[in-house]
């Protein structure tokens, strides 16, 4: 429990402080805005993808090949955390920010709440993030029982590595999409959310179309293979989601309250995941996947709304320009 509490603090820092520092430092140094998208893509490709693949294979090696038991990957993780701590303490310089702008915690949260309620784009972005990440974290707990309903022998480490490979492919595709002026992030993310929604419907479809096996143990079933294909598609969508949502956050969330607002988004996310997991035994696994699929579809609808709102200032600006110059060309993103 202590580890989970500390893990929650570390996760909040990982998904807020690092990104906020990067965006602020990037803008302060006057780098090209396009480089920010490439940095996000490379971070997901190398960190969430390549390193995670090696982690999955290494965990599988510890458990299966070396027969060190299911706790061995946790012990190995502790070692790597200690190495990371040593590197940070010895090589990183502290960034205290502007001391004159320091505010107490309550003031920061009040400012974040005002920003979210006063700007529909920020509120939509927070809802989209909570819906997608909530579905993603629920999926983390569901994929193992979905692939082994009869206690089939499945190589968890290799399957996890396969998921991470799919995520790497998604982040690589995202970097190519963001490098182009068209389609915009707000546009292609609608398609990504719809595809991710359909991919999590696959367990429901296979449950109705493929007769379940009655044999305990054995290898992964045919239905499990079909579901694995859908899960890899979902992980590819996750790979596209991370750098894309990072870019949208850098566009819409004000720099002075970025960290606080990003952590604000995690409150409904964590409540949602806790409610789902607390009631996981009350519903069949197909119902849980169906719920996640609905949430992802709702995220696509909210993404469409976000794109419509973000297009309004450009259309108003173009309308004003054409009133002054009837031969003016439409604005490009």
Locate the domains of the chain by residue range.
Answer: 11-94, 104-212+219-311
pLDDT at 95: 61
Mind listing the pLDDT tens digit for each residue in 280-297?
Answer: 777 888 888 999 999 999
CATH of 104-212+219-311, one of 1.20.150.20, 1.10.3190.10, 3.40.50.12640, 1.20.1250.20: 1.20.1250.20
- The pTM is what? 0.77
Mind listing the pLDDT tens digit for each residue in 28-69?
Answer: 788 887 788 788 878 777 777 788 888 888 888 888 888 888
* Average pLDDT in the chain: 82
Q: Report the Cα 70 to chain-centroid distance in Å.
A: 26
Name 267's Cβ contacts closer than 8 Å, sequence gap at least 6: none
């Amino acid at each position: 429990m202590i580890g989970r509490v500390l893990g929650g603090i570390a996760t909040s820092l990982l998904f807020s402080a690092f990104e906020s520092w990067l965006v602020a430092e990037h803008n302060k140094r006057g780098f090209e805005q396009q480089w920010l998208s490439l940095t996000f893509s490379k971070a997901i490709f190398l960190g969430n993808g390549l390193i995670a693949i090696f982690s999955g294979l290494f965990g599988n090696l510890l458990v299966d090949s070396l027969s060190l038991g299911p706790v061995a990957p946790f012990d190995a993780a502790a070692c790597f955390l200690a190495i990371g701590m040593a590197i940070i303490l010895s090589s990183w310089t502290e960034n205290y920010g502007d001391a004159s702008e320091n505010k107490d915690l309550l003031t920061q949260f009040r400012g974040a709440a005002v920003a979210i309620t006063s700007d529909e784009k920020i509120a939509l972005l927070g809802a989209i993030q909570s819906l997608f990440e909530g579905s993603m974290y629920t999926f983390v707990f569901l994929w193992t029982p979905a692939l082994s309903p009869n206690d089939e022998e499945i190589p968890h480490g290799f399957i996890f590595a396969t998921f991470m490979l799919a995520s790497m492919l998604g982040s690589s595709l995202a970097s190519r999409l963001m490098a182009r002026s068209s389609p915009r992030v707000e546009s292609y993310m609608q398609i990504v959310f719809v595809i991710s929604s359909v991919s999590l419907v696959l367990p429901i479809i296979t449950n109705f179309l493929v007769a379940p096996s009655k044999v305990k143990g054995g290898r992964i079933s045919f239905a499990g293979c079909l579901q694995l294909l859908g899960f890899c598609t979902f992980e590819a969508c996750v790979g596209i989601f991370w750098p894309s949502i990072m870019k949208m956050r850098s566009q819409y969330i004000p720099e002075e309250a970025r960290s606080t607002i990003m952590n604000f988004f995690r409150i409904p996310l964590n409540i949602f995941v806790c409610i789902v997991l607390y009631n996981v035994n009350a519903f069949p696994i197909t119902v849980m996947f169906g719920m996640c699929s609905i949430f992802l579809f709702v995220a696509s609808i909210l993404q469409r709304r976000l794109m419509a709102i973000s297009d309004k200032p450009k259309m108003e600006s173009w309308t004003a320009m054409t009133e002054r110059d009837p031969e003016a060309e439409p604005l490009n993103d």
